[in-house]
C-alpha cells in the first residue's frame, strides 16, 4: 500500500480528482468529514446510548457520544504524532502532494468520532439481541429464503458494518449518505471483510466483519481506490486494513480501558484503593508525586492518573506503529497496537477488573435483560408489518405500527433481505430511551 493513495480525498460521486495541494486550508476535506459526522442525526443519537451502564441517568457515566468524542481526541493526537513521523520518512508526501501532519490527525479523529455510530441501543448486548432474534428467535423462519451471507449479516448483526452503512448508504435525494472522504472511510473500516467466512484467521482484522451484503459494491470501490491489499481469492471480498484503522482501534482501546474503569470507580463498583493500585502500575514512571499528593478528592486523583495513563499509552502506540509501519503497508502486521504494548499486562489487569466489577455487575445485567426484550419485541412488530405490507396482507394494526416509522424509513424494499436489514437499521438507530418509550407504547404501558 502507498500513503499517497491511502490518503485519498475522493468522495462518493466525485467526477474530478481532489488533490491535497489544491485544498483550501480553512476547509480541509478531512476536517469537513468531522463536521459532517458531528451534525448527523445518527451521531446525535449517541447521547442517549449506552457505553457501560444501560439507561443510566448518572451524570458522570459516559454515553456512546461522550466516549466517541474522547476517542476522537485521543485519535487526533495519535494521528498527528504518526503523521509527523511519516512525513519525516517520506518527505515527498508533503513536498509534492502537500500533505501535512495534521491531515493524519484529522482523518483519525473523524473515523474515531464515527467508530460507534452504528451501534444499537443497550451496548454490545443490543447487537446480540438483534442477532439472536434471527438465530434462535421468531426471525429464524426467514433463513431458508436468504443466501448464507445475507443470513450471516443478520444472525451476527455487527455495529461496525451498520456504521459503514450509516456513513455511506444513499437514499432518495442524498447520494452516498454522509459522503466522507475515502481515506476517512478506510480508517473507519477496522474489519474489511464480509460476514462469511466467519473468523477465517486469527488476524485482528478478521475478528468481526465490516459491511453488509447490500453495501458490498461500494465497499469494494473504496478499498480499490485506497489501494488496500486483497487477502484472498477473488470470490471473497476481504482486504488487509487501511494503516490508519490501527490508530482508530488503538484510540478506542485506550479510552475504553481507562475511562470505563474510571466510570466504575465513580459508580462505586471499583474501590479507590484498587483503582490507585492498578493505575499507578501503569504510570509509575511518569507520575508527578508531589502534584499527586496535593490532590484531596478521589475524583481529582483518578482524573490525574487517567490523564497520565492516556498520555503514556498514546506515546507507546505511536512508537509501535512507526516501528511496524513497513510491515503494516505490506499487510504483514496482524495485531492490535495495544497487544504489542509494553503496558499490555497492566491494561489486561484493568480490563479483567472492569469485566468482573463493571460489565458483569448486577445493574448492567438487569438492564441488558430489559434491552433484549425491548429490541426483540420492536423487531418482531415492525418486521411483521413491513412484510405484510409487501405481501398485501396488511392489518389495521400493521398500518398503525408502520406509521410509527420516521419518514426516511417509510420506503418499501423489494427483497426480504432488504426489508429485514432495513428494520434492523431503524431499530439500531434508536436511542436507549426512544426504544424503551416505543416498547412501552406498543405494549400499552404508556399513558396517552
Residue 384 domain flag? yes
- Residue 299: what pLDDT? 81
Q: Which of 97, 253, 109 minimizes the C-alpha distance to 181?
A: 109
Q: What is the CATH number of the domain that holds 313?
A: 1.10.3210.10
Pair 413, 265 in one domain = no
Residue 445 domain flag? yes
CA 322 to chain centre: 24
- Residue 448: what pLDDT? 52
Residue 72 domain flag? yes
- Residue 424: what pLDDT? 96
Pair 309, 441 in one domain = no
Q: What is the CATH number of the domain that holds 431?
A: 1.10.3550.10
Pair 115, 261 in one domain = yes
Residue 210 domain flag? no
Beta carbons of 166 and 151 less than 8 angstroms apart: no
Residue 296 domain flag? yes
Pair 319, 424 in one domain = no
Residue 176 domain flag? no
Pair 430, 350 in one domain = no
CB-based burial label for 290 (10 Å; 0-12, 13-18, 19+): exposed
Q: Which of 225, 230, 239 minimizes the C-alpha distance to 182?
A: 225
Beta carbons of 210 and 191 less than 8 angstroms apart: yes
Please state the domain count of the chain.
2
Pair 374, 447 in one domain = yes
- Residue 54: what pLDDT? 53
Residue 293 domain flag? yes
Q: Digits of tens for pLDDT over the chain (448 positions)?
A: 999 999 999 998 888 889 998 888 888 899 999 999 999 999 999 988 876 655 555 555 678 899 999 999 999 999 999 999 999 999 999 999 999 999 999 999 999 999 999 999 987 889 999 999 999 999 999 999 999 999 999 999 999 999 999 999 877 656 667 899 999 999 999 999 999 999 989 999 999 999 999 999 999 999 999 999 998 766 778 999 999 999 999 999 999 899 888 888 877 788 878 788 888 888 888 888 888 889 888 788 888 989 999 999 999 999 999 999 999 999 999 999 999 999 999 999 999 988 888 777 777 788 888 889 999 999 999 999 999 999 999 999 999 999 999 988 888 888 999 999 999 999 999 999 999 999 999 988 765 5
Pair 353, 304 in one domain = yes
User: pTM, whole model, 2 decimals?
Assistant: 0.94
- Residue 59: what pLDDT? 53
Domain end, chosen from 292, 327, 359, is at 359
Pair 21, 99 in one domain = yes
Domain end, chosen from 331, 359, 387, is at 359
Pair 353, 435 in one domain = no
- Residue 173: what pLDDT? 59
Pair 381, 442 in one domain = yes
Pair 370, 355 in one domain = no
C-alpha cell belonging to residue 287: 507520575
Residue 224 domain flag? no
Domain end, chosen from 325, 359, 393, is at 359
Pair 20, 61 in one domain = yes
Residue 281's CB: how many other CB atoms inside 10 A?
14
Residue 137 belongs to domain spanning: 121-156+366-448
Beta carbons of 248 and 187 less than 8 angstroms apart: yes
Amino acid at each position: 500500500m502507498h500513503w499517497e493513495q491511502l490518503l485519498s480525498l475522493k468522495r462518493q460521486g466525485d467526477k474530478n480528482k481532489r488533490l491535497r495541494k489544491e485544498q483550501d486550508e480553512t476547509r480541509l476535506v478531512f476536517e469537513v468529514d468531522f463536521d459532517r459526522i458531528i451534525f448527523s442525526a445518527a451521531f446525535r443519537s449517541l447521547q442517549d446510548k449506552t457505553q457501560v451502564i444501560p439507561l443510566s441517568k448518572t451524570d458522570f457515566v459516559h454515553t456512546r457520544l461522550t466516549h466517541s468524542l474522547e476517542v476522537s481526541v485521543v485519535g487526533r493526537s495519535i494521528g498527528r504524532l504518526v503523521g509527523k513521523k511519516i512525513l519525516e520518512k517520506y518527505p515527498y508526501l508533503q513536498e509534492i502532494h502537500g500533505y501535512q501532519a495534521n491531515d493524519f490527525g484529522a482523518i483519525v479523529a473523524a473515523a474515531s468520532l464515527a467508530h460507534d455510530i452504528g451501534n444499537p441501543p443497550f451496548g454490545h448486548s443490543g447487537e446480540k439481541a438483534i442477532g439472536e432474534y434471527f438465530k434462535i428467535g421468531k426471525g429464524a423462519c426467514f433463513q431458508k429464503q436468504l443466501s448464507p451471507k445475507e443470513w450471516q449479516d443478520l444472525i451476527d448483526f455487527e455495529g461496525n458494518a451498520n456504521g459503514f452503512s450509516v456513513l455511506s448508504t444513499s437514499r432518495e435525494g442524498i447520494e452516498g449518505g454522509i459522503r466522507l472522504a475515502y481515506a476517512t472511510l478506510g480508517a473507519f473500516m477496522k474489519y474489511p471483510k464480509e460476514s462469511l467466512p466467519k473468523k477465517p484467521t486469527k488476524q485482528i482484522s478478521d475478528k468481526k466483519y465490516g459491511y453488509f451484503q447490500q453495501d458490498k459494491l461500494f465497499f469494494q470501490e473504496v478499498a480499490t481506490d485506497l489501494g488496500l491489499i486483497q487477502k484472498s481469492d477473488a470470490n471473497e471480498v476481504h482486504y488487509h486494513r487501511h494503516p490508519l484503522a490501527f490508530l482508530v482501534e488503538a484510540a478506542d482501546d485506550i479510552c475504553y480501558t481507562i475511562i470505563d474503569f474510571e466510570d466504575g470507580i465513580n459508580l462505586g463498583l471499583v474501590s479507590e484503593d484498587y483503582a490507585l493500585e492498578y493505575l499507578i502500575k501503569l504510570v509509575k514512571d511518569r507520575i508527578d508525586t508531589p502534584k499527586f499528593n496535593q490532590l484531596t478528592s478521589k475524583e481529582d486523583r483518578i482524573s490525574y492518573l487517567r490523564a497520565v495513563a492516556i498520555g503514556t499509552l498514546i506515546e507507546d502506540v505511536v512508537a509501535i506503529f512507526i516501528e511496524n509501519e513497513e510491515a503494516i503497508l505490506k499487510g504483514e502486521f496482524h495485531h492490535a497496537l495495544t497487544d504489542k504494548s509494553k503496558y499490555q499486562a497492566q491494561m489486561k489487569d484493568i480490563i479483567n477488573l472492569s469485566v468482573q466489577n463493571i460489565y458483569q455487575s448486577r445493574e448492567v445485567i438487569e438492564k441488558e435483560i430489559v434491552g433484549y426484550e425491548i429490541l426483540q419485541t420492536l423487531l418482531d412488530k415492525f418486521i411483521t408489518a413491513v412484510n405484510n405490507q409487501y405481501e398485501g396482507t396488511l392489518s389495521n394494526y400493521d398500518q398503525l405500527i408502520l406509521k410509527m416509522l420516521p419518514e426516511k424509513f417509510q420506503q418499501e424494499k423489494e427483497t426480504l433481505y432488504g426489508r429485514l436489514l432495513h428494520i434492523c437499521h431503524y431499530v439500531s438507530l434508536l436511542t436507549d430511551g426512544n426504544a424503551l418509550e416505543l416498547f412501552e407504547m406498543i405494549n400499552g404501558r404508556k399513558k396517552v
